[in-house]
Amino acid sequence: MRILLSCLLFTLLLNTALAQTRKNSGEGQAAALQEDEDYLQGLRHFEGDGVPIQYGLAFQHFAKAATRGHVQSQAFIAYRRGQGTLGIALDDKEASKQFQKLEQKLTTAAKAGDPYAQCLYGTMLFAGYAGDPKIEDGLEWCQKAAEADNKFAQCLLGDMYIELSDDEESGSKFRKEGARWLKKAAAKGYAGAQLSLGELYQSGWGVKPDLAEAAKLFRLAAEQNLPAAQTSLGECYEHGSGVPQDSGKAAEWYLKAAKQNDPDAHVNLGMLYFDGNGVPKSMEQSFQSFKRAADLNYAQGMAQLGTMYQAGLGVAESKDEAFKLFRRAADMDNAMGKFELGCCYRDGWGATKDLKRGAKLILEAAEEEMQQAQHHAGKLYESGQGVERSETEAAKWYRLAAEAGVPEAQYDLGRVYENGIGVRKNKKTALSWYHKAADRGDEQAKEALKRLKAD
């Protein structure tokens, strides 16, 4: 599930700061906000206050204000850099450096009661931008603004709890608490909360699964021009999740989000162009879409772009460029990047052959539930390439990939059941998996069915 904390935080901070300005108290932060028209213009375009939400234009204004030493604008840009979202390349080190410079001013403003500063300071502590993460302190600062019935703080706090919900012991508690805060903000029409709550309904985290409700919430946020929500709604149409399947509508929503440089939208469009799904098939357009995502330092875009260089699709083949892109994506802990880089080392493609290193990377990707990597993990264990041979492990990985719908893995699982490789021989089970693979077009499975019927 993709929890887009960065998008939510920005809107939270911007709207909170604008509300503070409107109070026109003439003191502290509010007075500072009133002094910079570029900052105020940025807020209006970011939140859609009387104008359409336009992140690109908003951050042009913030950049101008930041050059004049405007602290809030500098903080927004620093956080945006750290998250690598909204059309700017990710650079954690630079973000941390900028936050460290701003820390004292943010701390002072937070302690003075400014809700914007409380949220940003809390997030800085939560994410560890100025040192080791301080989760409890970060939550405490954000909760101060949320309990004052600030809908933007409520959304941010909800997202923070969801970020913490992987913990086995307290995960359910955190998910429910996150959902509670998100519902408060979403009910008030906050687009970021509608997006995150929709993701919860999609996954069933903290709420009862409801795909139709998820799509409804994505639409509410997308119609406010929130790019990540437009991408999520496009994915609903592409896969028929909560709405009738419609690849053409999926492409329309992806294009809206891509115009605002949402990296996931670029990747999804690249796949549509690659398959000719909802748009005319075009390797050149596919390549350009992946490149736009990669240029935003988005790891999945790099991995997809690498495959285009690898196969010479939409661009001249280049082993060196493909290998560089796979390595960059893998270094960012991207599963596809690890898998493709592992295959390069395993096969000696663009790199010196190294079976152990290749196997290690492929297994890491498999552990991250990349289906293709799970199938290849089965192959590694069955052959003993770079790992100690284990038929039991081979069968385990084939099963995981087969159950996820990978036809080649379904064929291999049928094969191990037919021959008793790592499992007890079972012709009936073998036939079942061969049929599933054949139904998905696997030619080896079709041949196996013919052979077994002849027997």
Domain borders along the chain are: 5-261, 262-325, 390-455
SS3 404: coil
**Radius of gyration, CA atoms only, the chain:** 25
Which pLDDT band holds residue 74 (cuts at 50, 70, 90)?
Answer: confident
Sequence-ordered list of residues with C-beta below 8 angstroms from that of 157, at least 6 positions apart, any chain: 139, 142, 143, 146, 178, 181
Angle between helices 371-383 and 355-367 (to 10 degrees): 140
Q: What is the percent of the chain where pLDDT is above 70?
A: 89
Encoding tokens for residue 333? Answer: 């802990």
* Dihedral over alpha carbons 312, 313, 314, 319 (to 10 degrees): -30
Under 8 Å between Cβ of 140 and 122: yes
* Average pLDDT along the chain: 88
According to the CATH classification, is domain 5-261 in 3.40.50.1100? Answer: no
CA atoms within 13 A on the CB side of 34: 13
Encoding tokens for residue 160? Answer: 């923070």
Work out the angle at residue 3's Cα, subtended by the Cα atoms of residues 234 and 147, and round it to the nearest 5 degrees: 125
Under 8 Å between Cβ of 65 and 38: yes
Owner of token pair 């330092």: 297
Q: Which of 347, 346, 371 is nearest to 356 (CA)?
A: 346
Q: Which of 218, 213, 258 is nearest to 235 (CA)?
A: 218
Under 8 Å between Cβ of 3 and 163: yes
CA-CA distance, 91 to 82, in Å (whole number)? 6
Under 8 Å between Cβ of 400 and 394: no
H/E stretch holding 158: helix 151-163
Q: What is the percent of the chain where pLDDT is above 90?
A: 65
Give pLDDT tens digits for 193-244.
999 999 999 999 889 999 999 999 999 999 999 999 999 999 999 999 999 9
Mean pLDDT for the stretch of residues 100-124: 84
> What fold does the segment set 262-325 form as a domain?
1.25.40
Which pLDDT band holds residue 84 (cuts at 50, 70, 90)?
Answer: low
Under 8 Å between Cβ of 227 and 256: yes
DSSP 73-92: HHHHHHHHHHHT-TTS---H
Owner of token pair 């896969």: 239
Give pLDDT tens digits for 332-363.
999 999 999 999 999 999 999 999 999 999 99
- State the architecture of 390-455 in CATH terms: Alpha Horseshoe (1.25)
**DSSP structure class, residue 337:** H
Q: Is 5-261's fold the same as 390-455's?
A: yes
Mean pLDDT for the stretch of residues 174-189: 94
Q: Residue 385 pLDDT > 70, yes or no?
A: yes
Report how far Cα 66 is from the mean position of its chain's Cα atoms.
Answer: 28
CA-CA distance, 127 to 140, in Å (whole number)? 13
Q: Residue 252 pLDDT > 90, yes or no?
A: yes
Give pLDDT tens digits for 14-64.
444 444 444 433 344 444 444 589 978 887 777 766 777 777 888 899 899
CA-CA distance, 16 to 55, in Å (whole number)? 17
CA-CA distance, 305 to 325, in Å (whole number)? 7
148 CB neighbour count, 10 Å cutoff: 12
Give pLDDT tens digits for 433-450.
999 999 999 999 999 999
Give the least confident one: 62-71, 162-171, 247-256, 368-377.
162-171
